[in-house]
Amino acid sequence: MRQRNLHPSGSRKSVSRQVAGFTLVELSVAVAVISLLMVLILPALAKAQSKMRSNRCLSNLQDVGTAMGLYLQDSNDKLPYAALRYTTGSEEHHLAWDDLMGPYLGIDLTLAQRKQDGASNAGSLKLLSCPLDAVPVKLENGVDRKETRRSYAMPEHNLGLNTLAGRAATAADWPPNPVNQTGLGIRLDGRPNHLSSRWNSDDEPGGKTVPRWQAAFQVNMILSPASTLFMTEQFDGGNRAGAWAGASISDISAHQSKDSSLLQPQINYLMIEGHVESLTPAKTYGTAGKLGTAPTGIWTIWQDD
């Protein structure tokens, strides 16, 4: 049988394919274009990432404000302390504002765990950490700790005893009342060797409950809740979740410690009324104050400064 030629005469041709490549000049141009795009895009990406982190910090404070409202409902409108420490028998207890408000912040710790100086249950403490805060968690002697970072603090009260941020205490600063010219973050020490004259001895050893007889602020004492500071950011190595240290902040200069980066151009501030503002630090002082002087404006309970 005659086979059919599948390739008629003249149709079989060798096909040569030439693979085109980049010349050195073309490659250099492509690299230059990519480099230029990276120069243009990376700052925008970094800015967007920083903004996202800042928004997260603000959102955390908003959640703290919501938790504060729930806490007030269950505490007869008594605001939380910045920190308490006291002794029952041979056992020392530390309770910071985040320990007191913990159940309303979704922090899953027992009362015994909350009474420890510092907490390490990181899974339920993420709300306490601002993503912009990268300061290593340390003790005063510089030892690194494994506890969770806490990025927020209450404006400190002087107890009518202590000079705070350059301003001496006056008789009007105690007990807690609407004309205190100081912050509302009360820190009380009831330990035998550190017993303050402000500690109410009606809270005798027992240890099964949170001290209930100590002087505190009621919400109705705050005459200007929309412009009175409840919580702000403090990036400091000693500010650890559940710890006495770092639970309060004295003034603008203490926003960030020597271990942290430079002071942020804008900082988030949570007011007693519950809203959060992002402000330049200088705008948080009232007309009677300025940076480098004793705190005024939103930093004090007194509404006339």
Confidence at residue 122, expressed as pLDDT on a 0 to 100 scale: 55
pLDDT, one tens digit per residue, over 161-186 is 999 888 899 999 999 999 999 999 99
**Alpha carbons 101 and 212: distance in angstroms, whole number:** 15
Task: Name the residue with tokens 């927020």.
Answer: 152
- pTM beyond 0.95, yes or no: no
pLDDT, one tens digit per residue, over 198-233 is 999 888 655 567 888 899 999 999 999 999 999 999
Confidence at residue 14, expressed as pLDDT on a 0 to 100 scale: 46
β partners of residue 232: 153, 269
Lowest mean pLDDT among 4-13, 46-55, 287-296: 4-13
**Alpha carbons 9 and 204: distance in angstroms, whole number:** 113
Residue 191 in contact with residue 86, Cβ under 8 Å?
yes
Which run of H or of E encompasses 28?
A: helix 24-74
Residues 6+ apart with CB under 8 A from 158: 164, 167, 169, 173, 182
Confidence at residue 75, expressed as pLDDT on a 0 to 100 scale: 93
Name the band, by pLDDT with cuts 50, 70 and 90, for residue 27. Answer: confident
Q: Retrieve residue 221's tokens.
A: 């004492």
Confidence at residue 16, expressed as pLDDT on a 0 to 100 scale: 47
Confidence at residue 294, expressed as pLDDT on a 0 to 100 scale: 79
pLDDT, one tens digit per residue, over 78-137 is 999 999 998 887 788 889 999 999 889 888 777 777 887 776 555 567 789 898 888 888
The closest of 236, 234, 237, 235 to 138, measured between CA atoms, is 237
pLDDT reading at 283 higher than 50:
yes
The closest of 252, 58, 85 to 155, measured between CA atoms, is 252
Give 78's DSSP letter: B
